[in-house]
Amino acid sequence: VEAVLLIAGTKVEENSVGSGTFNCPAEGSKQPYHHVRLEKKATAFFVPVATMSELGEYVECQSCGATYEPAVLEYQTQEDLDTALAVAVLRLALEVVLADGRVTDDERQAVIDTANLYLDPPGLTLSGLSEMLATLQVQSAKTRSKSTASALAELGSALNMEGRRIFVRTAYCLAAADGEVADSEREVIVKTARRLGFSKNEAGGLVAALEVEAAGEVVWQITHESLADLEDSLAWADWAIKFSDSLKFTPEEIYGPGGKIGYWGLTWPTAEAMTSTLYNNMGGGVPAAVIDELVRLSAPK
């Protein structure tokens, strides 16, 4: 009797569920699509013999290559999708700006500008916004949150990953319209990311990345005015103070143990490299004395 060596294993296989035309959010028009299911299969001698589990499904636009959750097929017309998107953006915008208990003129204008990007025709006015805010301000934060969650649920999973990131970025920009992002606003942004399907870690990381990006914009504004003139560690110390003041943090709060560098998910070498790159782009170099001081502030106490 000859012994036979059985070579067994698993593989992920793409199986077609169907195809047709749909309203591609990225294209903004009817496009052909391919609906795919991912299945994990057991193999014998490298040949699939049985399905072990289904790993998920996605819809791919055959025109632009964008991928979506199958829920995107539920929208019968582009108008349906546009309406759901506009409602979700407006509800989110209102929840964000009301989160800290006050609405500045800059935030009002940011809501109008953002909403009108999605409204067709762009008809939101200051008086119309004021009426909405007056109605919502008497509601509890919990009620407003439920309304936003409902709007996002109505939008469903029609947004692909990049669309979801843009949605979270929009929320952050609205919160930052008055020059700062309050903790209550940050909570709304993180909650929005979770509602859009990001995990807890992904949501926190995405918001942290937006905070780093915002900080970088502040740094650039400051450096554009003064960094090219910095020639010694004393001038750099003045710059560091201005940088800290602009973010409303002390150097210790930024670079110290448990400070913003850690909060942003950055290691000291990364922060130093970012600073060096920025300064070198302005034609200088980071003085050793400054690096030594920042390393000292970063050291465990």
pLDDT in tens, 137-151: 777 878 888 888 877
Whole-angstrom distance, CA of residue 99 vs CA of residue 174 = 11
Give the pLDDT score at 116. 83
**Residue position matching structure tokens 């150097």:** 251
Give the pLDDT score at 105. 87
Q: Which residues contact 128 (CB under 8 A, 6 or more apart)?
A: none
Give the pLDDT score at 219. 47
pLDDT in tens, 58-85: 888 898 888 888 878 877 666 777 777 7
298 alpha-carbon distance from chain centroid = 28
Regions of the chain with pLDDT less than 70 = 1-12, 41-53, 76-78, 154-157, 212-301
Give the pLDDT score at 215. 62
Question: Which two structure tokens, joined as six digits, stand for 272?
Answer: 């130093």
Whole-angstrom distance, CA of residue 152 vs CA of residue 168 = 12
Q: What domains appear along the chain, each with residue ranges and CATH number?
A: 8-74 (no CATH), 78-198 (1.10.3680), 215-298 (no CATH)
Give the pLDDT score at 225. 43
